[in-house]
């Protein structure tokens, strides 16, 4: 995918702020600090359009990025960060749930998982929830640069088995640091965004 234009559009807290141009949307869900915002930057080859941080809890709203005027990435706040208060977690949970259940232009959810570790309970719940509502999911196992290549397949298998991944769902290995998986992920996204 050749990126000619990428821009931050809005940090939305609810439907009245979502863009109205009806372009297809790709959402990124996953644990706090797993690398969702970094993934957006790598996909568009920009260093810091999406704000990233080594401290979890950086992304706090539904952050919309418009790419080439033809697709949006929607960056979610991460889940599972203990230092975020219970009431804040509930607010984020409701905001994300509402988006996922009601957004008609949503085409695909990227469930971002750390390739180094087995999925957390929250990851498993998220995947099951998405499948319960029949949403198309692509699991993206990121930070692949952090483990030796010889262990990649074993780790992929652990993730697939722990999530009990459905036959139609893809899993793609990724590294925002090194760019691996970028072309494959764009190809996959294109199938959903531009069928």
Q: Which residues bind ligand GTP (CB under 6 A)?
A: 30, 32-38, 52-54, 56-59, 77-78, 142-143, 145-146, 175-177
* DSSP reduced 3-state for 84: coil
CB of 47 to ligand GTP, least distance (A): 11
- Across 5-156, the runs of DSSP E, i.e. the strands, are 6-12, 25-30, 62-67, 71-75, 106-114, 137-142
Nearer to ligand GTP, 77 or 119 (CB): 77
CB of 126 to ligand GTP, least distance (A): 13
CB of 114 to ligand GTP, least distance (A): 9
Read off the tokens for 59: 């992304």
Nearer to ligand GTP, 96 or 193 (CB): 96
Nearer to ligand GTP, 59 or 107 (CB): 59
* DSSP reduced 3-state for 40: helix
- Across the chain, the runs of DSSP E, i.e. the strands, are 6-12, 25-30, 62-67, 71-75, 106-114, 137-142, 170-173
Q: For the window 8-47, what string marks contact with Mg ion as x by the rule CB under 5 A?
A: ----------------------------xx----------
Nearer to ligand GTP, 20 or 180 (CB): 180
Q: Which of residues 51-90 bind Mg ion (CB under 5 A)?
A: 58-59
Which secondary-structure segment (H or E) carries 122? helix 121-132
43 CB neighbour count, 10 Å cutoff: 26
Which option in ligand GTP, Mg ion, none does residue 146 bind, with CB closer than 5 to 8 A by kind?
ligand GTP
How far apart CA 189 and CA 150 sit, in angstroms, is 27
């Amino acid at each position: 995918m050749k990126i000619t234009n990428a821009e931050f559009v809005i940090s939305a807290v609810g439907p009245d702020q979502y863009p109205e141009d009806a372009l297809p949307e790709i959402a990124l869900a996953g644990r706090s600090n797993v690398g969702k915002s970094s993934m957006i930057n790598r996909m568009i080859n920009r260093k810091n359009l999406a704000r990233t941080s080594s401290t979890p809890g950086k992304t706090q709203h539904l952050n919309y990025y418009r790419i080439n005027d033809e697709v949006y990435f929607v960056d979610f706040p991460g889940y599972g960060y203990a230092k975020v208060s219970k009431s804040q977690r509930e607010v984020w949970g409701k905001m994300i749930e509402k988006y996922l259940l009601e957004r008609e232009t949503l085409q695909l959810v990227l469930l971002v998982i750390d390739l180094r570790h087995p999925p957390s309970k929250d990851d498993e719940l998220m995947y099951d929830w998405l499948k319960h509502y029949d949403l198309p999911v692509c699991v993206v196992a990121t930070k692949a640069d952090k483990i030796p290549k010889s262990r990649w397949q074993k780790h992929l298998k652990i993730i697939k088995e722990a999530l009990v991944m459905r036959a139609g769902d893809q899993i793609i290995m990724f590294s925002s640091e090194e760019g691996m998986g970028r072309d494959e992920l764009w190809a996959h996204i294109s199938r959903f965004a531009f069928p």
